[in-house]
Amino acid sequence: MHLDALNQTDQTLLDGFPAVESQRFRAQQAELKVVGLFAGIGGIEEGFRQAGHKSVLLCENDSAAQHVLKQRFKKTPVCDDVRELQSLPACDVVTAGFPCQDLSPAGRCAGIDGDESGLVSSVFRLLRDRRKSPTWLLLENVPFMLRLNKGRAIEAIVEQLENMGWNWAYRTIDTKAFGLPQRRKRVLLLASKSEDPRPYLLASDATPRTLVTRANHACGFYWTEGNTGIGWAIDSIPPLKGGSGVGIPSPPAIWFPKRRLIATPTIGDAERLQGFSRGWTEAATKTSRGARLRWKLVGNAVSVPVAKWIAERLSKSLNPYDPNGDTRMVSGQSWPDAAWGRPTGRFASDATSWPVQLEHQHLASFLSRSVNSLSLRATNGFYTRLQASGLRHEAEFALDLAYHIDRMKDANR
């Protein structure tokens, strides 16, 4: 990306962000009132609750997800269509993990104007119509939104915020940073009309943990792939997916080298891989195809500890953000993994996808219940595609795939 070096005397930094008292940001109130739009099964809202905050309204149109929300947030009203929501109740935070179907490489790639992802426009309508703005807006979506159509989606979002006079910052965050064995990157955008979001979202940074060699660790991959990639992840799983629109589960597969086993996690462990308690989505089984839809609900959710980390920081007094090293962005260039701005300027941040580095939980030991063997048909299909593709892979992995197929054939005789 072509960038101009940030000048310490740049007036953009001096006239746009709220003044600080005694070089520290003032402490936020102990309990923030949260409105959750596109709430799904409440990943963001559960993170905020664990941090001591309270949801006052949830909005979600998926009937299976509504059952989960009504069970897990019993005292919180749930509405079903953000387009029909006329106004926001008194609140401090509006959260919106808006639909990613049009912004995901696995989706339609229709962009921010698509029928699903375009619903984020309702968030801005509600914010504009409110006389007193909530202090914070938190948006969440997939990192591909920064690349699709040269970042048209993030451009449209920050342009809306800037036109409303809001300060914003976004960052790509990996769930693995919080110790969960799932490689899952998502863009979190924090904005405010009265506060500086940078200290809360960008100031904390840690060194990403990487595994160079597999050793005997369990490895996750997608058995639905095999032609152009497999989503390989050492000692973790690739991102949980929402699956098909009709609720056909698409859990990742796991190779256990020590056991020569190819398996998939249970739905209970999938919930835990997102930071929920086991059984969080059981209420969804009250709907048609509910048992299968649980995989979609969990795959579409926001990881709870990521939301909790942000929520906890919003309750703290933090030092001002140091912009040293940040660089001014040039219009029309690629969007970085982290950035911040206001109407008078946009800047790239070098914040990594690891804001913290919590103790890593090894995948094999994290899975507390028995796993499900990958079916003969699924394993055979993946193995065939992998062999035909020419993709690089470990010889031992291929041998164990073949071993698993033979074992499943024997079991079916």
Query: Active-site residue numbers?
Result: 100
Nearest alpha carbon to residue 65 among 294, 388, 239: 294
Residue 19's region, left for phi above 0, alpha for psi from -120 to 50, else beta, is beta
Alpha-helix residue ranges (DSSP H) falling in 113-169: 121-129, 152-163
Tokens of 297: 């609900």
DSSP 312: H
Residues with Cβ within 8 Å of 19's Cβ and at least 6 positions away in sequence, in order, are: none
Nearest alpha carbon to residue 138 among 310, 371, 377, 16: 310
The CB density around residue 317, as the number of other CB atoms within 10 Å, is 13
Residues with Cβ within 8 Å of 294's Cβ and at least 6 positions away in sequence, in order, are: 64, 267, 281, 282, 284, 285
Nearest alpha carbon to residue 1 among 410, 375, 398, 336: 336
Beta bridge partners of 327: 5, 348
Measured at the CA of 54, the angle between CA 199 and CA 64, to 5 degrees, comes to 110
CB 119 within 8 A of CB 82: yes
CB 341 within 8 A of CB 168: yes
> Per-residue b/e over 183-205, b at no fewer than 16 CB within 10 Å?
bbbbbbbbbbbebbbbbbbbbeb
Q: How far apart are alpha carbons 332 and 342 in whole angstroms?
A: 17
DSSP 237: B
Tokens of 162: 């800037």
**What's the half-sphere exposure (Cβ side, CA atoms, 13 Å) at 28?**
24
The CB density around residue 316, as the number of other CB atoms within 10 Å, is 12
Rounded to 10 deg, the angle between the 376-389 and 395-412 helix axes is: 150
